[in-house]
Amino acid sequence: MIEEGSKSSKSMVEKRQLFMEMRAQNFDVIRLSTYRTACKLRFVQKRCNLHLVDVWNMIEAFRDNGLSTLDHNAEINVSRLETILSSIFYQLNKRLPTTHQINVEQSIGLLLNFIVATYDSEGHGKLTVFAMKAMLATMCGGKILDKLRYIFSQISDSNGVMVYAKFDQFLREVLKLPTAVFEGPSFGYTEHSVRTCFPQQKKILLNTFLDVLMADPPPQYLVWLPLMHRLANVENVFHPVECSYCRSESMMGFRYRCQQCHGYQLCQSCFWRGHASGPHSNQHQMKEHSSWKSPAKKLSHAISKSLGCMPIGEPPHPVFPEAAERPQDLAHTTSTLESPSRLDEEHRLIARYAARLAAEASNSTQCPPTDLSFNFDANKQQRQLIAELENKNREILQEIQRLRLEHEQASQPTPEKAQQNPTLLAELRLLRHRKDELERRMSALQESRRELMVQLEGLMRLLKDEEQKQASQTGSSPHSSPSHSASCTMPMPIRSTSAGSTPTHTPQDCLAGVGDDVLDAFSQGVPRNLRNDLLVAADSITNTMSSLVKELHSVDDGLEDEEENMRNGREKVSSLKHPGKRQSTPSF
């Protein structure tokens, strides 16, 4: 008894898991019920991985599981529903790359519990085929145009005219989705739902049906359906604009611009929650933007529109032929269908999808077939062609992988290749050694140049100070000796960082490494003309600088020669590594 109770409690937790996760997202803070419903259903779609299943894949799954031959009001049990969902998600994993595989069992469990909670709230353990088709075709991924075309094929007769009773049945089933996410008061089914969509009693063909459901705005009861698709398209859209309320410097998703307050824009989070600041009010009309255009693009768009270079408005969908297509010949099928005319449009959609896959996979110059009345034999041939093309594609991919591995192995250096020409390798090592030696020599010459410049700066400062002292002593004591003051204001040694600091060594130590003329100017005991000696020393330093510059130029020329030799060496090595590669010669 305890084990049965634990299993029952675990089953209840699994059934409520999706709804608990949805409540944790706090969607109820969204002020508008339309956005609130669309966000909740989009969360369910992504959490169950239905956004990865295209509507064409869903139609194919219906056919593979035999649902196309069943009446709309036929009932299936939960066990068969689970089998259908398993085939859908396992086929999805086959199409996805290995790095993006989904958890099939978890997706099946979440979606199965959501469908049962939505369409079998009384616990009968069964639901109709039409209810399952309507739910999966609405919640799967793909374009809304393709979904509405498939839905119209399920609610129209053999003449391509919508049956109001079937459309009413579709609204009953599809409006259970908002009710399942606790938005029934806003979008629940009523007896007047059909008349709000098509207020006038008239013949509704496919184009009229698409015009009404894809209009802006769409019918009130289905306004959340196109919004859910717009949410999927703008999840990764970036707007480089600052929100006027939260001051966020960028927006993701929708962007809303006030039609009354100039330059007032809100991000989707602030708009959904009803935030406003300054003179802006929630009662102001807001325009929804799903993309960002720079001012330059806006200006060019306005100019093109004003000059008539582009159409002012584009139709929301392509125009399809109004005449009903010829019904398919189902006499050769092995199973007896109760209402074959009702399934014509569905079979034609499946055939078109198979033809599109064949055209994309073959990538040939053959034109696609224009006759839309395909039979089952042609469909079988197309599937065989698709299978053959897929096999060829796998063989081509294997061949590409093999060639890539051979190329990588050929490009990797091996010891055998390195030992093919030891003379060339020795020459390369010698070139590298010579380059390093020249770089070290050039660094040493640059350091010597810097030290000579520091020494020359100190000597020139000393000469200037000596002239000032001689001028001052001439005015005060004309018999003072300039050589004595010069010996007291000698500069720092050559490697000192400050040329004007006080010396801490004797003049002979300070002049270590200086030219002979400068050394003689300070080493002789007999007083000399210090000005002339300093000028001689400056000339010596200038000559040394000239020779240093010549040496640097010679080093640069040597480096260029060495670099040229190294390039020639690399070309030789490249020719050894790739003996089959030849330089192309221009043809005249």
Rounded Cα distance, 242 and 304, in Å: 28
pLDDT at 323 over 70: no
pLDDT score recorded for residue 82: 94
CA dist 228 to 141, 182, 207, 224, Å? 11, 16, 22, 6
Q: Are 139 and 107 in contact (CB under 8 A)?
A: no
CA dist 270 to 71, 178, 246, 284, 324, Å? 47, 23, 7, 14, 48
Any residues with CB less than 8 A from the CB of 297 and at least 6 apart, and which?
Answer: none
Of 184 and 360, more confident: 184
Of 291 and 332, more confident: 291
Q: Tell me the two tokens of residue 477.
A: 């004591």
Q: Are 431 and 565 in contact (CB under 8 A)?
A: yes
Across 126-140, 221-235, 484-498, 523-537, least confident range: 484-498
Q: Is 550 helix (H, G, I), strand (E, B) or coil?
A: helix
Of 118 and 496, more confident: 118
Q: Are 474 and 466 in contact (CB under 8 A)?
A: no
Q: Tell me the two tokens of residue 203.
A: 């013949």
pLDDT score recorded for residue 482: 41
pLDDT score recorded for residue 575: 57
Q: What is the mean pLDDT of residues 510-525?
A: 48
Across 33-42, 359-368, 457-466, 541-550, least confident range: 359-368
Q: Tell me the two tokens of residue 26.
A: 């706090």
pLDDT band for 381, please (50, 70, 90 cuts). Answer: confident
Residue 355 phi, psi (nearest 5)? -65, -40
Any residues with CB less than 8 A from the CB of 372 and at least 6 apart, and which?
Answer: 325, 348, 351, 352
pLDDT at 277 over 50: yes
Rounded Cα distance, 437 and 245, in Å: 65
pLDDT at 376 over 70: no
User: Checking DSSP bridges between strand 126-128 and strand 75-77, what pairing results, if any?
Assistant: antiparallel
CA dist 149 to 8, 192, 206, 348, 359, Å? 42, 23, 8, 11, 21
Reported for 561-565, long-range contacts at CB under 8 A and 24+ positions apart, including other chains, are 562/431, 562/434, 562/435, 562/438, 563/435, 565/431
Of 331 and 404, more confident: 404
Q: What is the mean pLDDT of residues 498-519?
A: 44
pLDDT band for 283, please (50, 70, 90 cuts). Answer: confident
State the Cα torsion 439-443-446-448 to the nearest 10°.
-130
Q: Are 521 and 492 in contact (CB under 8 A)?
A: no
pLDDT band for 476, please (50, 70, 90 cuts). Answer: low
Q: Are 96 and 53 in contact (CB under 8 A)?
A: no
Of 124 and 301, more confident: 124
pLDDT tens digit string along 407-430? 777 766 555 555 556 777 777 788
Q: Tell me the two tokens of residue 370.
A: 């224009």
pLDDT score recorded for residue 4: 46
pLDDT tens digit string along 183-202? 988 888 888 778 888 877 68
Q: Are 126 and 78 in contact (CB under 8 A)?
A: yes
Average pLDDT along the chain: 75
- Rank 445-449, 565-569, 575-579 by mean pLDDT and report only the highest: 445-449
Residue 183 phi, psi (nearest 5)? -120, 25
pLDDT at 509 over 60: no
CA dist 45 to 59, 135, 374, 378, 495, Å? 17, 11, 33, 35, 76
How does 188-214 read in b/e, with b if 16+ C-beta sit within 10 Å? ebeeebbeebbeeeeebbbeebbebbb
% of the chain surpassing 70 pLDDT: 63
Which residue has tokens 């197309």? Answer: 382
pLDDT score recorded for residue 53: 95
CA dist 158 to 129, 343, 345, Å? 20, 9, 8
Q: Is 107 helix (H, G, I), strand (E, B) or coil?
A: helix
Q: Which of 525, 541, 567, 155 is nearest to 343 (CA)?
A: 155
Rounded Cα distance, 106 and 95, in Å: 18
The number of residues making up the chain comes to: 588
pLDDT band for 336, please (50, 70, 90 cuts). Answer: very low
Q: Are 107 and 54 in contact (CB under 8 A)?
A: no
Q: Tell me the two tokens of residue 323.
A: 């005449």
Rounded Cα distance, 512 and 184, in Å: 99
pLDDT tens digit string along 31-61? 999 999 999 999 999 999 999 999 999 999 9
Q: Tell me the two tokens of residue 180.
A: 């399942």
Q: Which of 421, 427, 423, 426 is nearest to 566 (CA)?
A: 427
pLDDT tens digit string along 145-186? 999 999 999 999 988 999 999 999 999 999 999 999 999 888
pLDDT tens digit string along 243-269? 999 988 878 889 999 998 988 989 999
Rounded Cα distance, 170 and 525, in Å: 120
